[in-house]
Amino acid sequence: MIGSWIGGVERVAVLTGAGISTDSGIPDYRGPSGVWTLDPALVKAFTYQSFMADPGVRAAFWHTYREHPAWQAQPNAAHHALAGLERSGVAVRVLTQNVDGLQQRAGSSRRKVLELHGTMHEVICTGCGRRTPSEQTMARVEAGDSDPRCTDCGAILKLAVVLFGEHLDPATTGLAERIAANAELLLAVGSSLRVEPVASLCAVAVNAGSRLVIVNRDPTPYDDLAVEIIREPIGVALPQICAAISKTVQAVG
């Protein structure tokens, strides 16, 4: 599983998708039991234009997140492996598509984790831009408010996550591109690599001379660029990879 691509690696970028959190009880989106697979209609609730235009769509969105398993989920072996890699002294940055915050809860430094698609642990007002902890709004939803509004300006509230049709923050994507280009190794873990522009970070890394290793159950559009494709379960493969990288770096040091 671990080949010559690990040699001489000191700077590592890790692009994580929903697959890294499935062992924590959070379903992915496109797998056999994924959110979109089981209920394709929910895609509409996660589309920015529909969310902003339709109170019924917003109600479906808030209902979905009210019962989301991520609120109670705990970091798994893969999250802990990445946090341990940072503690070992390896220069590692995590570029995550996930909004669950589990990587930080596992012990990764907040400044080392770039949340490309936002976070479910904050709510943002679409009018005045005020950010508040999600607990406040979710308590209102739990109490029966299906379309919570900002208490300051009355505008629509949404979780601070990037919905379909919503632009990613240019500063965030620009930083992600620089991290991918400067890494010697980019690990793409648990991502279908079908959501752009984040998936194109793989090409950014390879074009800059980085090695791309994909750890994912299913084929991805970027498999042809990878020096290694690992189909083993993420909870097994990633701890082994992180341990090998750490050992290599310490041996060089």
Active site members = 117
Rounded Cα–Cα distance for residues 217 and 98 (Å):
17
- What residues does 189 pair with on adjacent strands? 16, 215
Rounded Cα–Cα distance for residues 10 and 7 (Å):
9
Cis peptide before 197 (omega within 30 of 0): yes
Residue type, 220: T
- List CB contacts of 38: < 8 A, sequence separation 6 or more: none
Measured in residues, the chain has a length of 253
